[in-house]
């Protein structure tokens, strides 16, 4: 089957039942997408599929052949960080950082749909993402900063 | 140095360290073989101050490092500055704060300092990263070695320009000849050198003169994190590596009775391992792994085990008095004064019992390891807080010498006290031995919830008395099982005793952020509010009346001021509470406002859920001596508040018949964005005091402050953590 990940086309011989998370990590060595729970509850595995935030741990690869997949590795363009990545650094919106790729991609999915979200909209969109270190207030601030920097169109 | 009470539940679990005696033969060439030329500085261990922190208890064999070495540093001929520490980065931002400490002494930018952390082949021995000890105990050692390096560079520069040392200044990562204005980078000074100096410390820069410490340096590896480039243990890839999975028993303490692999063996390309009660599989991918695990037929012998419903009665009925508080790093306080006399003279007496449930750490990176054998030498990448402890566990498990085991800890996806042990490392190594290839083992979330260890559950009984003027006349405090940290009251009470009673634990238990300090503060500070209420005194005034400790008074007053405690108006279903305490050299006060709000609509056919407790606002004042990095300190305090909300309101492990009943994130609720209150912090900076750690203590005030706020909003005192696992239910 063919997967399009970060604008690169891959031809893979894999069982279509395999979950996108493990194909990304084990076959394509794109390890920025994290395993956290395997049941779509923590958001660490979030990727963009055709611009929408999706839990890759629940997504069989057979369902997404040919669709545009963006992982955290594909967010920066031409060596320039995405405004969300920049804002997460500036707001110090991470501690251990394990949730950060999923947080950033969930936020990117939100900004695709809603370029200027309100604070409640940000919280609602990220409710399915867990930061056990508890940097939630900073993550909200980072998304607001990225919005202010009008990075919404970037992803 | 702050008096830090050590917590060591985990040492009952892991095998004791066994270092065989041997002669250490240190030769300077070993170091340079490792690092090339330049300047190497070794810091001799400052005993007894560093004795618990660094340095092997005895010499150990075949290693390139002296046995009693606290820290070491290399300045390469290209100017690269590398500092080696056995500490582990788990999100507490010590990679940044320790780099700041060295940068301060070397008068260099933080970005110029590279830290090699937690690699048993490369870094000095370290007992582990826990107990908030990195900042008070490791940072000063880093600063000493940095200061010694600075002095050595001054010597080199003075020799180079043939001037007196007093003519040399070090700034911005370079040496300067003050007379001629010439300057030279550190690399230039060390070029062509193979200089090794053993130092026992040099005068370090005091906080009042800090220019790099004390500032909010940015997280040093943030770009790697936001781009997904940082490789956590589960992201390590080795040639020919295959994933592994463990065949778990259906219950705790189960014994494997039969093991039938007839069907599973037909699956091509898998390795099946069984040794005793250990069973697992390595295979090409996760689909094959699942098939193989499902195809193995096992029967297990499961004995009777207590359930969470009977937990607290069980704890009180099963003392483990052969262990004493001393085993946990403290000692039981004697009875001061006369408790009975104090109770007798009280205007009001109070007798209350508090409980805390087992809770899980839920690190987002589950326990995992990559293991690779090369002959009888083993390399393991794993997320642990005790790399050298795991090295010893592996050596013991495979009966090989310690120096045949290398443990490397990539900066880890959090731990919170939950990663002291090396189960995943041992399991991966066992699978790799049979598979004859590197094996990666990532625990599933259910395994993480079940087969890790838990924060101890506990029961706390308090008997007290208070005079009508607010003076506490008696205080008797008994903690069963949850632990002795911060058990002693900071209040000034003449007639008092505090006792810790170890008990048998139905579940495997170990360290946790703040550990028993949360339980002890919850009980003590809830009880304090009840005493204040009994005599009709304001909770803040009541605490201040009984409190002499100036540092604690200062944070209490700072939090109350920021919060506007004097203007607080409690009303039905909306109230505010406060709490304060001391732990691990840090002083914290927390104020919180809560509201009782209707649960979200769940559909017409569902019985309406009880109302919930919403935390509206939390103000935390914290003092931990001289502040090293204000922004990162705030981040830690905010994180502790958020994590504390879970244990305060709804987190609890439910178990029965040796099984965890809520081993999934869909069943075990952790704080999410919808739980976030307005979080404010007040940092009290004491440049005149040594820095203490900050990763744990800010968590301890949250639960009691929230419990007190619930009391002021409803008149109901909740004495069990979590307080509202199923919503706010008015006791009938």
8 A C-beta contact, residue B143 and residue B116? no
* pLDDT of B11 above 70: no
What is the rounded average pLDDT of the residues B180-197? 90
List of chain A residues whose C-beta atoms are within 8 Å of the C-beta of residue B290? none
Q: Rounded distance, CA B587 to CA B483, Å?
A: 19
pLDDT of residue B1: 33
* pLDDT of B326 above 90: no
Candidates A27, A6, A5; CA nearest to A16 is A27
Task: Answer yes or no: do B638 and A81 touch at CB < 8 A.
Answer: no
pLDDT of residue B325: 55
Of chain A residues 79-138, which have a CB less than 8 A from chain B? 81, 85, 88-89, 92, 94-101, 104, 122-124, 126-127, 129-138
Please state the ipTM of this predicted complex: 0.97
Flag the least confident range among A122-131, B53-62, B255-264.
Answer: B53-62
pLDDT of residue B600: 76
Task: Answer yes or no: do A96 and B673 touch at CB < 8 A.
Answer: no
Decide if B445 touches A, using CB distance below 8 A: yes
Instruction: Give the number of A-B residue pairs with CB atoms closer than 8 Å.
Output: 174
Q: Which residues contact A113 (CB under 8 A, 6 or more apart)?
A: A52
pLDDT of residue A100: 98
Containing B257, the helix (H) or strand (E) segment is strand B255-260
Q: Which two tokens stand for residue B623?
A: 């003092």
Q: B186-189 — which CB contacts under 8 Å span 24+ positions?
A: B186/B75, B186/B79, B186/B81, B186/B106, B186/B108, B186/B153, B187/B38, B187/B75, B187/B76, B187/B77, B187/B78, B187/B79, B187/B80, B188/B79, B189/B39, B189/B153, B189/B156, B189/B157, B189/B160
Judged by DSSP in three states, B342 sits in: helix
Instruction: Return the ∠ at Cα B674 (arms to B608 and B567), rounded to 5°.
Output: 95
* pLDDT of B4 above 50: no
Q: Rounded distance, CA B521 to CA B485, Å?
A: 10
What is the rounded average pLDDT of the residues B422-448? 97
Flag the least confident range among A28-32, B102-106, B239-243, B599-603.
Answer: B599-603
Q: Rounded distance, CA A39 to CA A28, Å?
A: 22
Flag the least confident range among A30-39, A109-118, B332-341.
Answer: B332-341
Burial of residue B165, with CB atoms counted within 10 A of its CB: 0-12 exposed, 13-18 middle, 19 or more buried:
exposed
Candidates B355, B312, B357; CA nearest to B647 is B357
pLDDT of residue B313: 97
Residue keyed to tokens 């069980």: B314
In B432-466, which positions are buried (b, 16+ CB within 10 angstroms) versus exposed (e)?
Answer: bbbbebbbbbbbbbbbbbbbbbbbbbbbbbbbbbb
What is the rounded average pLDDT of the residues B269-279? 92
Task: Answer yes or no: do A39 and B442 touch at CB < 8 A.
Answer: no
Instruction: Report the residue count for chain B.
Output: 732
The pLDDT tens digits for B39-50 are 888 887 755 444
What is the rounded average pLDDT of the residues B231-243? 97
pLDDT of residue A105: 98
List of chain B residues whose C-beta atoms are within 8 Å of the C-beta of residue A33? 228
Longest dimension (CA), chain B: 90
What is the rounded average pLDDT of the residues B322-331? 57
Residue keyed to tokens 């937990």: B311
Q: Is the peptide bond before B48 cis (omega within 30 degrees of 0)?
A: yes
What is the rounded average pLDDT of the residues A97-101? 98
pLDDT interval class at B524 (50, 70, 90): very high
Edge-to-edge, what's the strand order for the sheet holding B348-356?
B496-501, B472-480, B458-466, B348-356, B720-721
Candidates B580, B621, B614, B572; CA nearest to B597 is B614
Q: Which two tokens stand for residue B24?
A: 């250490």
Burial of residue A126, with CB atoms counted within 10 A of its CB: 0-12 exposed, 13-18 middle, 19 or more buried:
buried
Between β-strands B439-442 and B242-246, what pairing exists: parallel, antiparallel or unpaired? parallel
Task: Answer yes or no: do A37 and B90 touch at CB < 8 A.
Answer: no
Task: Answer yes or no: do A132 and B414 touch at CB < 8 A.
Answer: yes
8 A C-beta contact, residue A39 and residue A94? no
pLDDT of residue B37: 82
pLDDT of residue B322: 64
8 A C-beta contact, residue B587 and residue B132? no
Percent of chain B beyond pLDDT 70? 89
Decide if B664 touches A, using CB distance below 8 A: yes
List of chain B residues whose C-beta atoms are within 8 Å of the C-beta of residue A56? none
Q: Rounded distance, CA B233 to CA B220, Å?
A: 19
CA distances from residue B61 to B22, B40, B64, B366, B719 in whole angstroms, order as listed: 5, 22, 9, 33, 53
Top pLDDT among B449 and B321 is at: B449
Flag the least confident range among B130-139, B166-175, B180-189, B651-660.
Answer: B130-139
pLDDT interval class at B231 (50, 70, 90): very high
Instruction: Report the residue count for chain A.
Output: 155
Of chain B residues 487-526, which have a CB less than 8 A from chain A? none
Top pLDDT among B138 and B332 is at: B138
Between β-strands B38-44 and B194-199, what pairing exists: parallel, antiparallel or unpaired? parallel
* pLDDT of B334 above 90: no
Task: Answer yes or no: do A97 and B90 touch at CB < 8 A.
Answer: no
List of chain B residues whose C-beta atoms are within 8 Å of the C-beta of residue A140? 673, 676
Q: Rounded distance, CA B454 to CA B445, Å?
A: 14
Decide if B223 touches A, using CB distance below 8 A: yes
pLDDT interval class at B684 (50, 70, 90): very high
Flag the least confident range among B173-177, B275-279, B370-374, B606-610.
Answer: B606-610
8 A C-beta contact, residue B46 and residue B156? no
Q: Rounded distance, CA A31 to CA A35, Å?
A: 9
């Amino acid at each position: 089957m063919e997967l399009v990940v970060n604008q690169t086309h891959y031809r893979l011989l894999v069982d279509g039942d395999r979950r996108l998370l493990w194909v990304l990590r084990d076959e394509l060595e794109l390890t920025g997408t994290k395993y956290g729970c395997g049941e779509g509850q923590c958001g660490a595995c979030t990727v963009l599929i055709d611009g929408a935030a999706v839990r890759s741990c629940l997504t069989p690869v057979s369902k997404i052949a040919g669709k545009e997949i963006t992982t955290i590795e594909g967010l920066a363009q031409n060596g320039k960080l995405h405004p969300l990545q920049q804002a997460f650094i500036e707001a110090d919106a991470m501690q251990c950082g394990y949730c950060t790729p999923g947080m950033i991609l969930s936020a990117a999915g939100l900004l695709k749909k809603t370029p200027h979200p309100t604070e409640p909209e940000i919280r609602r969109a990220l409710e399915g993402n867990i930061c056990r270190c508890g940097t939630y207030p900073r993550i909200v601030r980072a998304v607001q900063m990225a919005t202010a920097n009008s990075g919404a169109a970037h992803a | 140095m702050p008096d830090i009470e050590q917590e060591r539940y985990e040492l009952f679990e892991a095998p004791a360290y066994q270092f065989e005696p041997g002669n250490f033969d240190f030769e300077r060439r070993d170091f340079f073989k490792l690092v090339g030329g330049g300047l190497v500085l070794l810091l001799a261990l400052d005993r007894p101050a560093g004795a618990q922190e660094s340095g092997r208890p005895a010499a150990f064999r075949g290693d390139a490092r002296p046995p009693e070495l606290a820290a070491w540093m290399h300045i390469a001929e290209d100017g690269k500055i590398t500092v080696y520490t056995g500490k582990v980065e788990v999100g507490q931002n010590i990679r940044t704060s320790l780099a700041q400490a060295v940068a301060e002494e070397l008068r260099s930018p933080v970005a110029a300092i590279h830290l090699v952390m937690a690699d048993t082949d490369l870094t000095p021995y370290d007992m582990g990263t826990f107990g908030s000890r990195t900042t008070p105990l490791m940072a000063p050692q880093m600063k000493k070695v940095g200061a010694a390096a600075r002095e050595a560079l001054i010597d080199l520069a003075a020799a180079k320009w043939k001037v007196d040392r007093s003519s040399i200044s070090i700034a911005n990562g370079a040496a300067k000849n003050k007379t001629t204005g010439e300057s030279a980078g550190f690399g230039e000074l060390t070029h062509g050198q193979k200089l090794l100096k053993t130092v026992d410390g040099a005068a370090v820069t005091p906080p009042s003169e800090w220019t790099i410490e004390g500032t909010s340096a940015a997280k040093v590896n943030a770009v790697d994190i936001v781009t997904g480039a940082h490789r956590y243990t589960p992201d390590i890839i080795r040639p020919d590596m295959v994933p592994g999975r463990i065949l778990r028993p259906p219950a705790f303490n189960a014994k494997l009775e039969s093991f039938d692999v007839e069907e599973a063996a037909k699956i091509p390309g898998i390795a099946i391992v069984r040794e005793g009660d250990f069973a697992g599989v390595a295979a090409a991918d996760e689909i094959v792994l699942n098939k193989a695990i499902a195809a193995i037929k096992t029967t297990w012998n499961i004995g009777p085990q207590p359930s969470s419903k009977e937990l607290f009665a069980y704890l009180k009925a099963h003392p483990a008095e052969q262990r004493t508080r001393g085993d946990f790093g403290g000692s039981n306080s004697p009875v001061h004064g006369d408790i009975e006399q104090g109770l007798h003279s009280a205007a009001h007496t109070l007798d209350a019992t508090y409980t805390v449930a087992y809770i899980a750490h839920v690190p987002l990176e589950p326990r995992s390891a990559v293991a690779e054998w090369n002959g009888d030498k083993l390399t393991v990448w794993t997320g642990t807080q005790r790399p050298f402890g795991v090295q010893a566990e592996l050596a013991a498990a495979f009966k090989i010498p310690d120096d045949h085991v290398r443990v490397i800890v990539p900066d880890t996806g959090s731990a919170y006290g939950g990663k002291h042990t090396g189960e995943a490392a041992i399991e991966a190594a066992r699978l790799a031995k049979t598979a004859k290839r590197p094996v990666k083992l990532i625990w599933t979330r259910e395994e993480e919830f079940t087969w890790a260890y838990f924060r101890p559950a506990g029961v706390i009984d308090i008997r007290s008395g208070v005079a009508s003027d607010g003076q506490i006349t008696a205080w008797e405090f008994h903690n069963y099982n949850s632990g002795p940290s911060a058990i002693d009251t900071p209040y000034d009470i003449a007639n008092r005793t505090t006792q810790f009673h170890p008990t048998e634990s139905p579940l495997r238990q170990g360290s946790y952020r703040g550990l028993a300090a949360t339980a002890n503060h919850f009980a003590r500070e809830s009880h304090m509010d009840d005493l204040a209420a009994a005599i009709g005194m304001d909770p803040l005034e009541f605490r201040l009346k009984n409190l002499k400790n100036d540092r604690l008074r200062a944070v209490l007053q700072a939090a109350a001021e920021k919060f506007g405690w004097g203007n607080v108006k409690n009303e039905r279903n909306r109230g505010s509470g406060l709490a304060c305490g001391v732990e691990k050299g840090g002083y914290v006060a927390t104020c919180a406002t809560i509201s009782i709000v209707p649960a979200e609509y769940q559909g017409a056919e569902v019985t309406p859920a009880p109302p919930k407790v919403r935390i509206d606002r939390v103000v935390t004042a914290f003092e931990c001596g001289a502040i090293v990095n204000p922004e990162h300190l705030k981040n830690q305090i905010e994180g502790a508040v958020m994590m504390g909300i879970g244990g305060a309101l709804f987190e609890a492990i439910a178990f029965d018949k040796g099984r965890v009943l809520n081993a999934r994130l869909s069943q075990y609720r952790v704080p999410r964005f919808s739980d976030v209150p307005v979080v404010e912090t007040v940092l009290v900076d004491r440049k005149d005091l040594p820095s203490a750690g900050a990763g744990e203590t800010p968590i301890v005030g949250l639960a009691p402050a929230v419990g007190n706020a619930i009391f002021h909003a409803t008149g109901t005192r909740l004495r069990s953590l979590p307080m509202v696992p199923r919503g706010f239910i008015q006791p009938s």
